[in-house]
Structure 1
Amino acid sequence: MFQVTITSNSDRDLYMGKMANDTFLQRFEQQLASQSGVDHWIVALSGGLDSMVLLELASRCLPADRLTVLHINHQLQAEADEWQAFCARQAEQRGLAFCAEQVNLQPGSIETAARNARYEVFAKAQSENTCVLLAHHSDDQAETLLFRLFRGAGVRGLAAMPRQRALGDGALFRPLLDFSRSELKAWAQKEGLCWVEDPSNTDIQYDRNFLRQQVLPLLAGRWSGISERLQATASHLADAEALLEELAQSDFQNCSVDNCLLTVKLQLLSQRRQANLLRYWCRCAGVLLSAAQLSSLKALIAAASDRQPELILGDRVIRRYRNRLFIEAVKACPQWDALLVDVLAAPERYPGRLSLTAESDICPDPWLAGVKIRNRRDGDKCYPSGRPGKSLKHLFQEAGVPPWQRDQWPVCVRGDEIVAVPGICICEGWCEGENKPPFWLDWQPVALFAGSDSGTL
């Protein structure tokens, strides 16, 4: 049943007049002050106690024209639309812009699916210099640490929720992590705030509710201030994780070329540093390695030099070639059949990245006329400028192109003649006497080094 909790306080106006002396508000302002370069703020509002406190604090501290209220309707409860309407009224009362997004959850764990859906919305709502504010507090942090602990997480997982991190083109920030839920409730009651109560919060079939309702109260009865202690532990682990990240970044600089890991240099590291670097490298490509997957990856690295082993990790694959490790998406080989000018004009429509770098002010258009792109074919041969004719197979081997990338490599032709292999050579057929085209074509297969989600709440 839909429930709105309302607390009245005849002294609300008095408290509003004493905002400058409100240490609670001052603590919040200090948190916001740590965020520089933010042009617009987005408050994630569920309508519950925590997010209503966040909304009230943000509305008092930030200009209304730089603040938007965002509600995500998960459509899980019969009252979901009423909660959305409640949030809309709260934004309107404060003169703030309001936006609501309905999401459809993927099959599987409801908690995980709801979280993933929220973060997809947050990322889409982001733009440069925008910051999403979330209402997680110290009790949430304690729950997260225990939740990760019981799942067997490592240092990264036990660091729990970061106070801030990049998200899409903007950032995400949790300004209430130093506040306890009891503090938030006391302030909300003092200020006469209203909020909704989600009945599912008492359902202990959900792991987090079980921790909140059963485990943490039991621990608090034995050790006072348990949430604060667990938050301090998470903070120490976050520091340790930051140091491991710095070490991995340093090792990556020393052991990589073009986002590939050099196995010879990798094996000079200690076993622990190897594991740390491999996890970092895979995480940057969107893969979180389990212990079993890490063991399989090490076996791939140690395989005989005449083999070309591979490891499938969901929609990613790791392969080894000439003492390099590659990580790429598992995908069908693209079938090229397009004019070169069309690919250069709309590169986002094609796999990988084909680019033209001009060497002079001469317009390249006349050179591009009639040139098409196709896939390589058996027996293909070309005549690189200034060199004897060679088979494409030989050129690919010379350039160190892995075998699995060769079939998807674009080949430029005019009629039946190969005039260029982007990133490798320009051929005699595209030259006018001794004059080569006044540009260079480069080809880069799909890169996987996009930042990945941290896997937090």
Structure 2
Amino acid sequence: MADIEQQFTKALQQADSRMDIRRWVIGLSGGLDSMVLLALAAKVLPADQIVVLHVDHQLQIRSSQWRDFCQRQAQQRNLSYHSVSVTVDASASLERAARDARYRAFEEFLNVGDCLLLAHHSNDQAETMLYRLLRGAGLRGLSGIPVTRTVGAGRLLRPLLQRNRAELQNWADQNHLDWIDDPSNLDPTFDRNFLRHQVMPLLESRWPGFVGRWQRTAEYMSDADQLLDELAAIDLSHIATKFTALDLNLLSELSLSRQHNLLRFWIARQGGGRISRQQLAVVFSDVIAAQPGSSPELQLGERLLRRYRNNLYLTVASEAGIEWPVLPLTEEGVSLSQGELQVEVADSGLKTLAGVVIRSRREGDRCRPAGRGGSCPLKKLFQEKNIPPWLRAQWPVCVVGDEIVAVPGICICEGWQSEKNVSGFVLKWRSAALSASGESGTL
């Protein structure tokens, strides 16, 4: 039993050394596992750093009694206590909907410097792996429950994941803990309960100790999944363009497996979520392999996958209707819903900001790029710079009176460039129409 306490303490010390934790938030349901978690935390952590958080799903008649029980347990240990009531979407899978509601509550509660402790153990890990295997999960799914990950502004940690339920039961009995038994945990109509009470005991009777072995398998899977992400990051560094798009010519030089791996990684990194094998097939057939000259699009969550000039883009929803208000340009730059215009002092650039204002691009706009020898339409400049059409409508234009003096990231106009050996202002444009999840290719 001392081994559980030592392992628990070590896990918390390692987490604290990595992220300088200000508050330890205990996710307390009142069940056996979470009560062990609470008792261990109260034993090894300062009371003023602990916050007990109970999420009331309001699915059971006695849920208010469980909430009161959790509050008493916190008060007996002189710990801060918070309860959050959530509404579970009854039209969806109840298990998934309850989990989603619970994690939304966690995300809203956690602040920077918070570490949320949850009481999952190795039996939960084995159940999760088997459940996902039956649903046809890939390598990431079969990695099981992660020991730690980000949740909202904070961090989640499962310090008991290496221990099994029998060990937690023994520790609870020896420390005379009280806990709640949720009757819904016995209902075999729920998939996890069916696995827990009917399938897992059968497997254990045939292969004793398999839960611990599956925990090690989950760790192997997690290592392999991390290696695939590292490979994807290497491939991305060679294939990504200045707009964090993918160059499809370079992508095609990779093996098909590496193409799949990179696309999954890139889409997730850009905010498109983890896509399934079926969705990946649609990406290839409907977007990448679409007819040359077409402009295919595919919705992926809140992102839009687009192809332009043999590059692949993942953007937020188009906001073509948003226009720039006429604003003076200063050294502080400008940040609006369209994006961010940064101003930096450099060896060369726009010679002055005096009288310069920002406006939206207009139909028929022309300017005289420095060194080009004559005027040309902005449309042609955008085409030459391979700026995708959906980005052009929101591009800022810098003017003095009716004269265009600069197009950020595109050109400084004739007569407005700084003189040799005289500092000027470099204008960098970061469009919000590109994914907010990564570097947007500042110009």
TM-score band w.r.t. shorter chain: 0.7 to 0.9
Residue 108 to residue 415, structure 1, CA distance change in 2 (3 Å): farther
Q: For residues 239 and 142 of structure 1, what CA distance do their matches in structure 2 show?
A: 17
Flag the 1:60–1:413 CA change in 2: closer, same or farther, 3 A: same
| 1:289 pairs with 2:275 | yes
Further displaced range: 342-351 or 263-272: 342-351
**Which SS does the other structure have where 2:195 is aligned?**
helix
CA distance 1:347–1:367, shift in 2 (3 Å):
closer
Q: Tell me if the contact between 1:104 and 1:117 (Cα under 8 Å) persists in the aligned partners.
A: yes
1:49 equivalent in structure 2: 32
Matches within 5 A, 1:114-125: 114-125=98-109
By how many angstroms is 1:442 displaced? 1.9
Structure 2 residue matching 1:401: 3-state secondary structure? coil
Cα contact 2:418–2:424 (8 A) shared by 1: no
Structure 1 pair 114–344 and aligned structure 2 pair: CA distance change class (3 A): farther
* Superimposed CA distance per residue, residues 292-331 of structure 1 (whole angstroms, 9 cap, x where no aligned partner): 2211222332344433333222322212223321111223
Secondary structure of the 1:450 match is coil
The answer to which of 311-320 and 391-400 deviates more is 311-320
Whether 2:300 is the aligned partner of 1:313: answer yes
Contact 2:303-2:435 at 8 Å conserved across structures: no
TM-score of the two chains, using structure 2 as the length reference:
0.87
Is this contact kept in 2: 1:101–1:121, CA < 8 A?
A: yes
Higher mean C-alpha displacement, 211-220 vs 392-401: 211-220
RMSD (Å) for aligned C-alpha atoms: 2.9
Instruction: Tell me if 1:273 matches 2:231.
Output: no
User: What is the Cα deviation at residue 172 of structure 1?
Assistant: 1.3
Is this contact kept in 2: 1:148–1:158, CA < 8 A?
Answer: yes
What 5-or-longer segments of structure 1 have no aligned partner?
1-20, 452-457
Question: Which residue among 13, 19, 23 is the counterpart of 2:3?
Answer: 23
Structure 1 residues 345, 432: CA separation in 2 closer, same or farther (over 3 Å shift)? closer
Residue 413 of structure 1, CA deviation: 4.1
- Cross-structure match for 1:4: none
Distance 1:368 1:105 in 2: 56
Q: Using the TM superposition, give the Cα deviation of residue 24 of structure 1 relative to its aligned residue in structure 2, in angstroms.
A: 2.4
Question: Shift of the alpha carbon at 1:267?
Answer: 1.2
On the 8 A contact 1:343/1:354 being kept in 2, the answer is: no
Provide the rounded CA distance (Å) in 2 between the counterparts of 1:422 and 1:95. 58
Code of the residue aligned with 2:318 in structure 1: it is: K
Kindly indicate whether residue 44 of structure 2 is the aligned counterpart of residue 61 of structure 1.
Answer: yes
Of residues 48, 68, 80, the one that matches 1:85 is 68
CA shift at 1:443, angstroms?
Answer: 1.6
- Return the alpha-carbon distance in structure 2 between the equivalents of residues 76 and 244 of structure 1: 40
Change in CA separation of 1:257 and 1:71 when aligned onto 2, cut-off 3 Å: same
Match of 2:126, as an amino acid?
A
Equivalence for 1:18: none
Contact kept, 8 Å, 1:329 with 1:448, in 2: the verdict is yes
Partner of 2:375: 389
TM-score by length of structure 1 reads 0.85
Structure 1 CA distance for aligned equivalents of residues 164 and 171 of structure 2: 11
CA contact (8 A) 2:57 2:86 kept: yes
DSSP 3-state at the match of 2:163? coil
In the alignment, the residues of structure 2 paired with residue 350 and residue 428 of structure 1 have an alpha-carbon distance, to the nearest angstrom, of 30
Q: Which residue of 1 aligns with 2:21?
A: 39
Q: Match for 1:216: what amino acid?
A: M
What whole-Å deviation, never above 9, does each CA across 1:258-304 have from its counterpart, x for those lacking one? 32111122111111111111111111123222222211222332344
Contact 1:430 1:436 in 2 (8 A): no
Cα gap change, 1:341/1:88 in structure 2, threshold over 3 Å: closer, same or farther?
farther
**Gap change, CA 1:108 and 1:68, over 3 Å in 2:** same
Q: What secondary structure, in the 3-state scheme, does the structure 1 residue paired with 2:318 have?
A: coil
Q: Does 1:168 align with 2:152?
A: yes
* Cα distance in 2 for residues equivalent to 1:167 and 1:33: 19
Tell me how far apart the structure 1 counterparts of residues 422 and 64 of structure 2 sit (CA, whole Å): 66
Structure 1 residues 449 and 337, CA, compared in 2 at 3 Å: closer, same or farther?
closer
Query: Which residue among 339, 344, 354 is the counterpart of 1:352?
Result: 339
Question: Residues 373 and 435 of structure 1: is their aligned pair in 2 closer, same or farther, counting only changes over 3 Å?
Answer: farther
CA distance in 1, matches of 2:412, 2:421: 11
Contact 2:324 2:394 in 1 (8 A): no
Secondary structure in 2 aligned to 1:257? coil
- Is the Cα contact below 8 Å between 1:336 and 1:410 reproduced in 2? no
8 Å CA contact 2:32, 2:169 repeated in 1? yes
Identity of aligned residues (%): 46
User: Greater CA deviation, 350-359 or 423-432?
Assistant: 423-432
Q: Shift of residue 342 of structure 1?
A: 9.1
Most deviating of 21-30 and 52-61: 21-30
For residues 6-48 of structure 1, what are the alpha-carbon distances to aligned partners after superposition, in whole Å with 9 as ceiling and x for unaligned? xxxxxxxxxxxxxxx8222122122223221432221111111
Q: Mark the CA change 1:437 to 1:298 in structure 2 (over 3 Å): closer, same or farther.
A: same
Shift of 1:349: 4.7
1:301 is matched with which residue? 288
Secondary structure of the 1:177 match is coil
Q: In 1, distance between residues paired with 2:235 and 2:418?
A: 47
Deviation of the 1:152 alpha carbon? 0.6
